[in-house]
Amino acid sequence: MRTGATFDVRDHGARGDGVALDSPAINAAILAAEAAGGGMVILTPGKYLSFSLRLKSRVTLVLGDGATLIAAEKGPLGGYDLPEERGPQLYQDFGHSHWHNSLIWAEHAEDIAIIGKGRILGLGLTRNGPGTPWSKQAGERPLSMAVMPAADVGKLERTRQAMQGMGNKAIALAHCKRVKLDGFSIFKGGHFAVLASEIDGLDITNLDIDTNRDGLDLDCVRGARVERCRVNTPNDDAIVLKTSLGLGKRSSCEDIEIRDCAVSGFDLGTMLDGTRRQTQELSPDRDRVTGRIKLGTESNGDFRRIRIANCRFERSRGLALETVDGGTIEDVLAENIEMADVTTAPLFLRLGARLRGPEGTKPGAMRNIEVRGLKATGVDPRFAAIVAGLPDHRIECVQLRDIDLSFRGGFNEPVPASPPELADAYPEPSMFGPTPAWGFWARHVIGLEVKKLRLSRESGDRRPPVLLDDAHARAEDAQYWPDKV
Protein backbone atom coordinates (compact mmCIF):
# COMPACT_ATOMS: atom_id res chain seq x y z
CA MET A 1 0.00 0.00 0.00
CA ARG A 2 1.67 3.18 -1.19
CA THR A 3 1.56 6.06 1.29
CA GLY A 4 4.34 8.39 0.08
CA ALA A 5 2.35 10.96 -1.91
CA THR A 6 -0.18 13.11 -0.03
CA PHE A 7 -3.17 14.98 -1.38
CA ASP A 8 -4.93 17.56 0.80
CA VAL A 9 -8.59 17.76 -0.19
CA ARG A 10 -8.55 21.53 0.39
CA ASP A 11 -6.07 21.86 -2.45
CA HIS A 12 -8.77 20.38 -4.68
CA GLY A 13 -11.45 22.82 -3.54
CA ALA A 14 -12.88 21.32 -0.35
CA ARG A 15 -14.15 23.92 2.12
CA GLY A 16 -14.56 21.84 5.27
CA ASP A 17 -17.19 24.24 6.64
CA GLY A 18 -20.11 21.81 6.90
CA VAL A 19 -22.14 23.90 4.43
CA ALA A 20 -20.53 23.56 1.02
CA LEU A 21 -20.71 20.15 -0.67
CA ASP A 22 -17.18 18.76 -0.54
CA SER A 23 -17.57 15.34 -2.18
CA PRO A 24 -16.61 16.60 -5.69
CA ALA A 25 -13.33 17.94 -4.29
CA ILE A 26 -12.62 14.80 -2.25
CA ASN A 27 -13.31 12.58 -5.25
CA ALA A 28 -10.98 14.76 -7.34
CA ALA A 29 -8.23 14.24 -4.76
CA ILE A 30 -8.85 10.48 -4.84
CA LEU A 31 -8.53 10.44 -8.63
CA ALA A 32 -5.33 12.47 -8.42
CA ALA A 33 -3.88 9.98 -5.97
CA GLU A 34 -4.90 7.09 -8.22
CA ALA A 35 -3.29 8.78 -11.23
CA ALA A 36 -0.06 9.19 -9.24
CA GLY A 37 0.04 5.45 -8.62
CA GLY A 38 -1.35 5.74 -5.09
CA GLY A 39 -1.17 8.00 -2.09
CA MET A 40 -2.90 9.45 0.95
CA VAL A 41 -5.95 11.71 0.59
CA ILE A 42 -6.14 13.78 3.74
CA LEU A 43 -9.10 15.45 5.42
CA THR A 44 -7.64 17.99 7.83
CA PRO A 45 -9.75 19.29 10.78
CA GLY A 46 -13.14 20.53 9.60
CA LYS A 47 -16.63 19.40 8.64
CA TYR A 48 -16.91 17.90 5.17
CA LEU A 49 -20.41 17.56 3.74
CA SER A 50 -20.46 14.70 1.27
CA PHE A 51 -22.35 12.36 -1.00
CA SER A 52 -20.71 9.22 -2.39
CA LEU A 53 -16.91 8.96 -2.30
CA ARG A 54 -15.39 6.38 -4.66
CA LEU A 55 -12.22 4.89 -3.20
CA LYS A 56 -9.65 3.64 -5.72
CA SER A 57 -6.80 1.13 -5.66
CA ARG A 58 -3.69 2.07 -3.69
CA VAL A 59 -5.42 5.07 -2.12
CA THR A 60 -5.63 5.71 1.62
CA LEU A 61 -8.35 8.07 2.86
CA VAL A 62 -7.15 9.78 6.04
CA LEU A 63 -9.80 11.19 8.39
CA GLY A 64 -7.57 13.43 10.44
CA ASP A 65 -8.08 14.14 14.13
CA GLY A 66 -10.79 16.80 14.22
CA ALA A 67 -12.14 15.96 10.76
CA THR A 68 -15.80 14.95 10.43
CA LEU A 69 -17.14 13.49 7.20
CA ILE A 70 -20.87 14.25 7.19
CA ALA A 71 -23.32 12.26 5.08
CA ALA A 72 -25.43 14.86 3.29
CA GLU A 73 -29.21 14.74 2.95
CA LYS A 74 -30.55 13.90 -0.50
CA GLY A 75 -32.06 17.10 -1.85
CA PRO A 76 -31.10 20.34 -3.60
CA LEU A 77 -27.39 19.60 -3.28
CA GLY A 78 -27.80 16.23 -5.03
CA GLY A 79 -27.78 12.61 -3.95
CA TYR A 80 -25.77 9.44 -3.57
CA ASP A 81 -24.63 7.18 -6.38
CA LEU A 82 -27.44 4.98 -7.59
CA PRO A 83 -27.61 1.36 -6.44
CA GLU A 84 -26.28 -1.01 -9.07
CA GLU A 85 -28.78 -2.49 -11.52
CA ARG A 86 -28.73 -6.11 -10.44
CA GLY A 87 -32.19 -7.36 -11.34
CA PRO A 88 -34.47 -9.02 -8.77
CA GLN A 89 -32.64 -9.86 -5.58
CA LEU A 90 -34.37 -13.11 -4.79
CA TYR A 91 -32.62 -14.38 -1.69
CA GLN A 92 -31.42 -11.40 0.35
CA ASP A 93 -32.54 -7.91 1.16
CA PHE A 94 -31.68 -4.66 -0.62
CA GLY A 95 -28.92 -3.71 1.78
CA HIS A 96 -26.86 -6.85 1.09
CA SER A 97 -27.20 -6.45 -2.67
CA HIS A 98 -25.88 -2.94 -3.41
CA TRP A 99 -22.76 -0.95 -2.54
CA HIS A 100 -22.68 2.22 -4.64
CA ASN A 101 -25.49 3.89 -2.68
CA SER A 102 -23.12 4.56 0.20
CA LEU A 103 -21.10 7.40 1.67
CA ILE A 104 -17.81 5.65 0.85
CA TRP A 105 -17.63 2.72 -1.54
CA ALA A 106 -15.07 0.69 -3.45
CA GLU A 107 -15.40 -2.17 -5.89
CA HIS A 108 -12.65 -4.30 -7.44
CA ALA A 109 -10.04 -2.21 -5.63
CA GLU A 110 -6.74 -3.33 -4.11
CA ASP A 111 -4.56 -1.96 -1.31
CA ILE A 112 -7.04 0.56 0.03
CA ALA A 113 -7.46 2.03 3.49
CA ILE A 114 -9.54 4.40 5.58
CA ILE A 115 -7.62 5.51 8.65
CA GLY A 116 -7.32 8.31 11.19
CA LYS A 117 -8.93 9.59 14.35
CA GLY A 118 -11.73 11.51 12.66
CA ARG A 119 -15.43 10.69 12.55
CA ILE A 120 -18.05 9.67 10.02
CA LEU A 121 -21.38 11.27 10.88
CA GLY A 122 -24.18 9.59 8.94
CA LEU A 123 -26.84 12.26 9.32
CA GLY A 124 -28.14 11.86 5.77
CA LEU A 125 -28.09 8.05 5.66
CA THR A 126 -31.23 5.97 6.03
CA ARG A 127 -31.20 2.75 8.01
CA ASN A 128 -33.95 1.28 5.81
CA GLY A 129 -34.21 -0.46 2.48
CA PRO A 130 -37.18 -0.49 0.11
CA GLY A 131 -40.45 -1.84 1.42
CA THR A 132 -41.31 -2.43 5.03
CA PRO A 133 -38.01 -2.24 6.94
CA TRP A 134 -39.15 -4.18 9.98
CA SER A 135 -41.71 -6.93 10.27
CA LYS A 136 -44.36 -6.67 12.94
CA GLN A 137 -43.95 -10.33 13.79
CA ALA A 138 -41.36 -10.83 16.51
CA GLY A 139 -38.19 -12.47 15.33
CA GLU A 140 -38.94 -12.17 11.60
CA ARG A 141 -37.31 -10.20 8.79
CA PRO A 142 -38.54 -9.54 5.23
CA LEU A 143 -38.56 -12.75 3.20
CA SER A 144 -36.97 -13.12 -0.21
CA MET A 145 -38.67 -11.82 -3.34
CA ALA A 146 -38.85 -15.43 -4.50
CA VAL A 147 -41.74 -16.12 -2.15
CA MET A 148 -43.40 -12.69 -2.16
CA PRO A 149 -46.81 -12.18 -3.81
CA ALA A 150 -46.71 -10.20 -7.06
CA ALA A 151 -48.44 -7.22 -5.44
CA ASP A 152 -45.80 -7.06 -2.73
CA VAL A 153 -43.02 -7.30 -5.29
CA GLY A 154 -44.57 -4.38 -7.17
CA LYS A 155 -44.76 -2.32 -4.00
CA LEU A 156 -41.14 -3.15 -3.24
CA GLU A 157 -40.05 -1.97 -6.70
CA ARG A 158 -41.97 1.30 -6.31
CA THR A 159 -40.37 2.07 -2.97
CA ARG A 160 -37.00 1.09 -4.42
CA GLN A 161 -37.44 3.80 -7.03
CA ALA A 162 -38.21 6.27 -4.24
CA MET A 163 -34.80 5.43 -2.73
CA GLN A 164 -32.92 6.57 -5.84
CA GLY A 165 -30.30 9.04 -4.68
CA MET A 166 -30.50 8.00 -1.02
CA GLY A 167 -27.57 6.48 0.84
CA ASN A 168 -28.00 3.65 3.33
CA LYS A 169 -24.44 2.60 4.27
CA ALA A 170 -21.46 4.50 5.66
CA ILE A 171 -18.84 2.22 4.05
CA ALA A 172 -19.49 -0.49 1.46
CA LEU A 173 -16.78 -2.61 -0.17
CA ALA A 174 -17.12 -5.38 -2.74
CA HIS A 175 -14.60 -7.62 -4.54
CA CYS A 176 -11.59 -5.94 -2.94
CA LYS A 177 -8.18 -7.17 -1.81
CA ARG A 178 -6.02 -5.99 1.08
CA VAL A 179 -8.21 -3.49 2.91
CA LYS A 180 -7.45 -1.65 6.15
CA LEU A 181 -9.90 0.31 8.35
CA ASP A 182 -8.36 1.81 11.47
CA GLY A 183 -8.83 4.41 14.16
CA PHE A 184 -11.97 6.38 13.27
CA SER A 185 -15.49 6.44 14.65
CA ILE A 186 -18.91 6.15 13.01
CA PHE A 187 -22.14 7.58 14.39
CA LYS A 188 -25.40 6.58 12.64
CA GLY A 189 -23.99 4.42 9.89
CA GLY A 190 -27.29 3.61 8.12
CA HIS A 191 -28.35 0.05 7.29
CA PHE A 192 -24.74 -1.07 7.74
CA ALA A 193 -21.98 1.04 9.20
CA VAL A 194 -19.55 -1.20 7.29
CA LEU A 195 -20.56 -3.77 4.66
CA ALA A 196 -17.62 -5.80 3.37
CA SER A 197 -18.56 -8.32 0.66
CA GLU A 198 -16.11 -10.82 -0.82
CA ILE A 199 -12.97 -9.16 0.52
CA ASP A 200 -9.65 -11.01 0.58
CA GLY A 201 -7.42 -9.68 3.34
CA LEU A 202 -9.31 -7.31 5.65
CA ASP A 203 -7.96 -5.57 8.76
CA ILE A 204 -10.45 -3.67 10.94
CA THR A 205 -8.88 -2.24 14.08
CA ASN A 206 -9.58 0.39 16.71
CA LEU A 207 -12.98 1.50 15.40
CA ASP A 208 -15.72 3.01 17.57
CA ILE A 209 -19.15 2.47 16.01
CA ASP A 210 -22.43 3.65 17.52
CA THR A 211 -25.16 3.09 14.99
CA ASN A 212 -28.84 2.60 14.33
CA ARG A 213 -28.70 -0.83 12.66
CA ASP A 214 -25.85 -3.29 11.96
CA GLY A 215 -22.29 -2.35 12.82
CA LEU A 216 -19.73 -4.53 11.02
CA ASP A 217 -21.09 -6.95 8.40
CA LEU A 218 -18.49 -9.26 6.86
CA ASP A 219 -20.18 -11.13 4.02
CA CYS A 220 -18.16 -13.85 2.25
CA VAL A 221 -14.86 -12.44 3.54
CA ARG A 222 -11.63 -14.40 3.69
CA GLY A 223 -8.59 -13.69 5.82
CA ALA A 224 -9.95 -10.99 8.13
CA ARG A 225 -9.00 -9.55 11.50
CA VAL A 226 -11.37 -7.47 13.65
CA GLU A 227 -9.52 -6.24 16.71
CA ARG A 228 -9.98 -3.66 19.49
CA CYS A 229 -13.29 -2.37 18.14
CA ARG A 230 -16.23 -1.06 20.16
CA VAL A 231 -19.61 -1.51 18.46
CA ASN A 232 -22.91 -0.32 19.97
CA THR A 233 -26.07 -1.40 18.12
CA PRO A 234 -29.27 -1.46 20.21
CA ASN A 235 -31.43 -2.17 17.14
CA ASP A 236 -29.46 -4.89 15.35
CA ASP A 237 -26.26 -6.95 15.35
CA ALA A 238 -22.90 -5.43 16.25
CA ILE A 239 -20.34 -7.70 14.55
CA VAL A 240 -21.82 -10.26 12.19
CA LEU A 241 -20.41 -12.70 9.65
CA LYS A 242 -22.66 -13.67 6.74
CA THR A 243 -22.57 -15.74 3.57
CA SER A 244 -25.43 -14.32 1.53
CA LEU A 245 -26.11 -14.53 -2.20
CA GLY A 246 -25.82 -10.76 -2.47
CA LEU A 247 -23.04 -11.07 -5.03
CA GLY A 248 -25.04 -13.54 -7.09
CA LYS A 249 -23.09 -16.64 -6.15
CA ARG A 250 -22.42 -18.93 -3.22
CA SER A 251 -19.23 -18.09 -1.35
CA SER A 252 -17.78 -18.53 2.13
CA CYS A 253 -16.41 -16.79 5.22
CA GLU A 254 -13.03 -18.26 6.10
CA ASP A 255 -10.12 -17.57 8.43
CA ILE A 256 -11.68 -14.77 10.49
CA GLU A 257 -10.40 -13.52 13.86
CA ILE A 258 -12.43 -11.27 16.17
CA ARG A 259 -10.37 -10.26 19.19
CA ASP A 260 -10.46 -7.80 22.08
CA CYS A 261 -13.74 -6.24 20.97
CA ALA A 262 -16.70 -4.90 22.95
CA VAL A 263 -20.31 -5.06 21.72
CA SER A 264 -23.31 -3.50 23.41
CA GLY A 265 -26.92 -2.32 23.19
CA PHE A 266 -26.86 1.00 25.02
CA ASP A 267 -29.09 3.82 23.83
CA LEU A 268 -28.02 5.13 20.44
CA GLY A 269 -25.07 7.51 20.72
CA THR A 270 -24.42 6.94 24.38
CA MET A 271 -21.44 4.65 23.92
CA LEU A 272 -19.64 7.40 22.02
CA ASP A 273 -20.55 10.13 24.50
CA GLY A 274 -19.75 7.90 27.49
CA THR A 275 -23.13 8.11 29.21
CA ARG A 276 -24.10 4.50 28.34
CA ARG A 277 -27.80 5.11 28.89
CA GLN A 278 -30.25 2.21 29.10
CA THR A 279 -33.73 3.60 28.46
CA GLN A 280 -34.46 1.67 25.24
CA GLU A 281 -35.78 -1.75 26.18
CA LEU A 282 -36.76 -3.34 22.86
CA SER A 283 -35.30 -3.74 19.39
CA PRO A 284 -37.61 -3.31 16.39
CA ASP A 285 -38.12 -7.10 16.31
CA ARG A 286 -39.73 -6.70 19.78
CA ASP A 287 -37.08 -8.69 21.59
CA ARG A 288 -34.83 -6.83 24.00
CA VAL A 289 -31.95 -4.75 22.63
CA THR A 290 -29.52 -6.52 20.35
CA GLY A 291 -25.77 -5.81 20.16
CA ARG A 292 -23.91 -9.19 20.03
CA ILE A 293 -21.51 -11.09 17.77
CA LYS A 294 -23.23 -13.46 15.35
CA LEU A 295 -22.60 -15.87 12.49
CA GLY A 296 -25.62 -15.82 10.11
CA THR A 297 -28.52 -15.34 9.67
CA GLU A 298 -27.70 -15.20 5.93
CA SER A 299 -25.96 -18.55 5.50
CA ASN A 300 -26.08 -19.79 1.92
CA GLY A 301 -22.30 -20.31 1.97
CA ASP A 302 -20.00 -21.88 4.54
CA PHE A 303 -18.20 -20.52 7.62
CA ARG A 304 -14.82 -22.08 8.40
CA ARG A 305 -12.00 -21.42 10.84
CA ILE A 306 -13.56 -18.62 12.86
CA ARG A 307 -11.90 -17.45 16.09
CA ILE A 308 -13.57 -15.14 18.64
CA ALA A 309 -11.45 -14.28 21.67
CA ASN A 310 -11.26 -11.87 24.61
CA CYS A 311 -14.52 -10.10 23.78
CA ARG A 312 -17.08 -8.43 26.03
CA PHE A 313 -20.84 -8.30 25.51
CA GLU A 314 -22.71 -5.70 27.58
CA ARG A 315 -26.48 -5.15 27.61
CA SER A 316 -26.49 -7.38 24.56
CA ARG A 317 -27.86 -10.61 23.21
CA GLY A 318 -25.39 -13.47 23.53
CA LEU A 319 -23.11 -15.19 21.07
CA ALA A 320 -25.11 -16.67 18.17
CA LEU A 321 -24.03 -19.21 15.54
CA GLU A 322 -26.81 -19.76 13.01
CA THR A 323 -26.98 -21.64 9.73
CA VAL A 324 -30.45 -21.84 8.23
CA ASP A 325 -29.96 -21.36 4.45
CA GLY A 326 -27.87 -24.40 3.53
CA GLY A 327 -24.35 -23.43 4.60
CA THR A 328 -22.00 -25.29 6.92
CA ILE A 329 -20.51 -23.77 10.07
CA GLU A 330 -17.41 -25.66 11.19
CA ASP A 331 -14.19 -25.20 13.14
CA VAL A 332 -15.29 -22.30 15.35
CA LEU A 333 -13.51 -21.41 18.59
CA ALA A 334 -14.85 -18.82 21.04
CA GLU A 335 -12.76 -18.26 24.16
CA ASN A 336 -12.48 -15.84 27.07
CA ILE A 337 -15.88 -14.23 26.53
CA GLU A 338 -17.48 -12.01 29.19
CA MET A 339 -21.11 -10.93 29.18
CA ALA A 340 -23.08 -8.63 31.45
CA ASP A 341 -26.84 -7.99 31.28
CA VAL A 342 -27.59 -10.57 28.60
CA THR A 343 -30.86 -9.64 26.91
CA THR A 344 -31.79 -13.11 25.57
CA ALA A 345 -29.75 -16.34 25.64
CA PRO A 346 -26.04 -16.19 26.43
CA LEU A 347 -25.27 -18.82 23.77
CA PHE A 348 -27.38 -19.82 20.77
CA LEU A 349 -26.34 -22.51 18.29
CA ARG A 350 -29.00 -23.11 15.67
CA LEU A 351 -29.10 -25.40 12.65
CA GLY A 352 -32.40 -24.69 10.90
CA ALA A 353 -34.13 -24.93 7.54
CA ARG A 354 -35.33 -21.47 6.52
CA LEU A 355 -33.70 -22.32 3.13
CA ARG A 356 -33.83 -18.86 1.63
CA GLY A 357 -32.03 -19.80 -1.58
CA PRO A 358 -32.43 -21.33 -5.04
CA GLU A 359 -34.62 -24.35 -5.63
CA GLY A 360 -32.97 -27.44 -4.22
CA THR A 361 -31.36 -25.69 -1.25
CA LYS A 362 -31.10 -28.16 1.62
CA PRO A 363 -30.26 -27.79 5.31
CA GLY A 364 -26.57 -27.30 6.01
CA ALA A 365 -24.46 -28.53 8.90
CA MET A 366 -22.84 -27.33 12.11
CA ARG A 367 -19.87 -29.16 13.59
CA ASN A 368 -16.62 -28.82 15.48
CA ILE A 369 -17.65 -25.91 17.69
CA GLU A 370 -15.71 -25.12 20.87
CA VAL A 371 -16.66 -22.52 23.47
CA ARG A 372 -14.33 -22.21 26.43
CA GLY A 373 -14.10 -19.61 29.13
CA LEU A 374 -17.53 -17.97 28.79
CA LYS A 375 -18.82 -16.05 31.82
CA ALA A 376 -22.22 -14.34 31.70
CA THR A 377 -24.03 -12.41 34.43
CA GLY A 378 -27.48 -10.85 34.52
CA VAL A 379 -28.90 -13.27 31.94
CA ASP A 380 -32.59 -12.89 31.06
CA PRO A 381 -34.18 -15.67 33.18
CA ARG A 382 -36.49 -16.78 30.36
CA PHE A 383 -33.74 -18.16 28.14
CA ALA A 384 -31.18 -20.85 28.80
CA ALA A 385 -28.08 -21.36 26.70
CA ILE A 386 -29.41 -23.19 23.62
CA VAL A 387 -27.97 -25.76 21.22
CA ALA A 388 -30.74 -26.70 18.79
CA GLY A 389 -30.47 -28.75 15.61
CA LEU A 390 -33.16 -30.60 13.69
CA PRO A 391 -34.26 -34.24 14.02
CA ASP A 392 -32.72 -35.21 10.66
CA HIS A 393 -29.90 -32.66 10.74
CA ARG A 394 -28.16 -32.76 14.08
CA ILE A 395 -25.44 -30.42 15.27
CA GLU A 396 -22.20 -32.38 15.65
CA CYS A 397 -19.18 -32.20 17.95
CA VAL A 398 -19.72 -29.30 20.34
CA GLN A 399 -17.33 -28.76 23.25
CA LEU A 400 -18.33 -26.41 26.06
CA ARG A 401 -15.64 -25.86 28.69
CA ASP A 402 -15.53 -23.59 31.71
CA ILE A 403 -18.99 -22.06 31.23
CA ASP A 404 -20.34 -19.89 34.07
CA LEU A 405 -23.89 -18.53 33.65
CA SER A 406 -25.69 -16.42 36.25
CA PHE A 407 -29.38 -15.65 35.64
CA ARG A 408 -31.49 -12.78 36.94
CA GLY A 409 -34.51 -13.86 38.97
CA GLY A 410 -36.53 -16.91 38.04
CA PHE A 411 -39.40 -17.86 35.74
CA ASN A 412 -42.37 -19.84 36.99
CA GLU A 413 -44.97 -19.68 34.24
CA PRO A 414 -45.93 -22.91 32.43
CA VAL A 415 -43.48 -23.89 29.68
CA PRO A 416 -43.87 -26.74 27.15
CA ALA A 417 -41.47 -29.58 27.88
CA SER A 418 -40.76 -29.93 24.16
CA PRO A 419 -41.28 -26.74 22.11
CA PRO A 420 -42.13 -27.10 18.39
CA GLU A 421 -39.20 -27.53 16.02
CA LEU A 422 -39.90 -24.35 13.98
CA ALA A 423 -37.43 -25.51 11.34
CA ASP A 424 -38.15 -22.69 8.88
CA ALA A 425 -38.50 -19.82 11.36
CA TYR A 426 -36.17 -16.86 11.56
CA PRO A 427 -33.56 -17.91 14.14
CA GLU A 428 -33.57 -16.06 17.45
CA PRO A 429 -33.23 -17.50 20.97
CA SER A 430 -36.78 -16.31 21.66
CA MET A 431 -38.22 -18.32 18.77
CA PHE A 432 -39.12 -21.22 21.09
CA GLY A 433 -40.50 -18.99 23.84
CA PRO A 434 -39.12 -19.41 27.36
CA THR A 435 -36.92 -22.49 27.23
CA PRO A 436 -37.90 -25.76 28.97
CA ALA A 437 -34.71 -25.62 31.08
CA TRP A 438 -33.52 -22.52 32.91
CA GLY A 439 -29.77 -23.01 32.45
CA PHE A 440 -28.87 -25.18 29.46
CA TRP A 441 -31.07 -26.80 26.81
CA ALA A 442 -29.79 -28.98 23.97
CA ARG A 443 -31.62 -31.09 21.43
CA HIS A 444 -30.67 -32.90 18.25
CA VAL A 445 -26.94 -32.89 18.98
CA ILE A 446 -24.31 -35.60 18.47
CA GLY A 447 -21.00 -35.47 20.31
CA LEU A 448 -21.78 -32.83 22.93
CA GLU A 449 -19.10 -32.52 25.61
CA VAL A 450 -19.59 -30.26 28.62
CA LYS A 451 -16.89 -29.70 31.22
CA LYS A 452 -17.00 -27.28 34.15
CA LEU A 453 -20.51 -25.92 33.73
CA ARG A 454 -21.68 -23.54 36.47
CA LEU A 455 -25.30 -22.37 36.57
CA SER A 456 -26.85 -20.05 39.15
CA ARG A 457 -29.99 -17.95 39.47
CA GLU A 458 -31.30 -15.34 41.85
CA SER A 459 -34.69 -16.88 42.69
CA GLY A 460 -36.86 -19.95 42.29
CA ASP A 461 -37.70 -21.57 38.96
CA ARG A 462 -39.87 -24.63 38.33
CA ARG A 463 -37.85 -25.72 35.27
CA PRO A 464 -34.89 -28.10 35.50
CA PRO A 465 -31.43 -26.53 35.24
CA VAL A 466 -30.45 -28.75 32.28
CA LEU A 467 -32.53 -30.56 29.67
CA LEU A 468 -31.12 -32.81 26.96
CA ASP A 469 -33.45 -34.01 24.19
CA ASP A 470 -32.01 -36.28 21.51
CA ALA A 471 -28.58 -35.10 22.64
CA HIS A 472 -25.70 -37.55 22.84
CA ALA A 473 -23.71 -35.86 25.59
CA ARG A 474 -20.89 -36.37 28.03
CA ALA A 475 -20.68 -34.05 31.04
CA GLU A 476 -17.99 -33.56 33.67
CA ASP A 477 -17.97 -31.26 36.68
CA ALA A 478 -21.38 -29.60 36.31
CA GLN A 479 -22.76 -27.62 39.26
CA TYR A 480 -26.10 -25.81 39.65
CA TRP A 481 -27.18 -23.32 42.30
CA PRO A 482 -30.97 -22.87 42.12
CA ASP A 483 -30.80 -19.69 44.19
CA LYS A 484 -27.97 -17.36 45.01
CA VAL A 485 -27.00 -17.28 48.69
Q: pLDDT tens, 169-208? A: 999 999 999 999 999 999 999 999 999 999 999 999 999 9
State yes or no: pLDDT of 214 exceeds 80.
yes
* Amino acid 150: pLDDT: 64
Q: Rounded distance, CA 24 to CA 320, Å?
A: 42
Mean pLDDT on 92-121 = 95
Mean pLDDT, all residues of the chain: 93
Tell me how long the chain is. Answer: 485
pLDDT grade for 46, boundaries at 50, 70 and 90: very high
pLDDT grade for 91, boundaries at 50, 70 and 90: confident
Domain residue spans in the chain?
1-250+264-292, 318-484
State yes or no: pLDDT of 12 exceeds 80.
yes
State yes or no: pLDDT of 160 exceeds 70.
no
- What contacts 35, CB < 8 A, 6 or more positions away? none
The CATH homologous superfamily of the domain defined by 1-250+264-292: Single-stranded right-handed beta-helix, Pectin lyase-like (2.160.20.10)
Q: Rounded distance, CA 407 to CA 456, Å?
A: 6
Q: Which helix (H) or strand (E) holds 153?
A: helix 150-162
Choose the weakest-confidence range: 86-90, 231-235, 383-387: 86-90
State yes or no: pLDDT of 251 exceeds 70.
yes
| Secondary structure (3-state) at 430 | helix
What predicted TM-score, i.e. pTM, was given to this entire model?
Answer: 0.94
Mean pLDDT on 289-297 = 98
Mean pLDDT on 440-445 = 98
pLDDT grade for 3, boundaries at 50, 70 and 90: low
* Amino acid 92: pLDDT: 83
pLDDT grade for 296, boundaries at 50, 70 and 90: very high
* Amino acid 208: pLDDT: 99
Residue 235: how many other CB atoms lie within 10 Å = 20
* Amino acid 263: pLDDT: 99
pLDDT grade for 131, boundaries at 50, 70 and 90: low
State yes or no: pLDDT of 229 exceeds 70.
yes
pLDDT grade for 332, boundaries at 50, 70 and 90: very high
Mean pLDDT on 259-283 = 98
State yes or no: pLDDT of 359 exceeds 90.
yes
Contact 3, 24 (CB under 8 A): no
Mean pLDDT on 269-288 = 97
* Amino acid 347: pLDDT: 98
pLDDT grade for 88, boundaries at 50, 70 and 90: confident
State yes or no: pLDDT of 456 exceeds 70.
yes
Q: Is 39 left (phi over 0), alpha (psi -120 to 50) or beta?
A: left
pLDDT grade for 152, boundaries at 50, 70 and 90: low
* Amino acid 90: pLDDT: 76
The backbone torsions φ and ψ at residue 4, rounded to the nearest 5 degrees and listed phi first, read -70, -50
Between the CA atoms of 464, 470, 475 and 479, what dihedral angle is there, to the nearest 10 degrees?
-10
Mean pLDDT on 333-346 = 98
* Amino acid 140: pLDDT: 34
* Amino acid 137: pLDDT: 31
Which candidate, 287, 297, 236, places its Cα nearest to that of 92? 297
Mean pLDDT on 300-322 = 98
Mean pLDDT on 44-53 = 98
Give Rg (Cα) of the chain.
23
* Amino acid 410: pLDDT: 85
Mean pLDDT on 394-423 = 95
**Percentage of the residues of the chain whose pLDDT score is greater than 70:** 92
pLDDT grade for 151, boundaries at 50, 70 and 90: low
Mean pLDDT on 83-100 = 84
**Percentage of the residues of the chain whose pLDDT score is greater than 90:** 86
Residue 174: how many other CB atoms lie within 10 Å = 22
Choose the weakest-confidence range: 36-50, 87-101, 280-294: 87-101
- What contacts 465, CB < 8 A, 6 or more positions away? 437, 438, 439, 440, 455, 480, 482
Mean pLDDT on 368-396 = 98
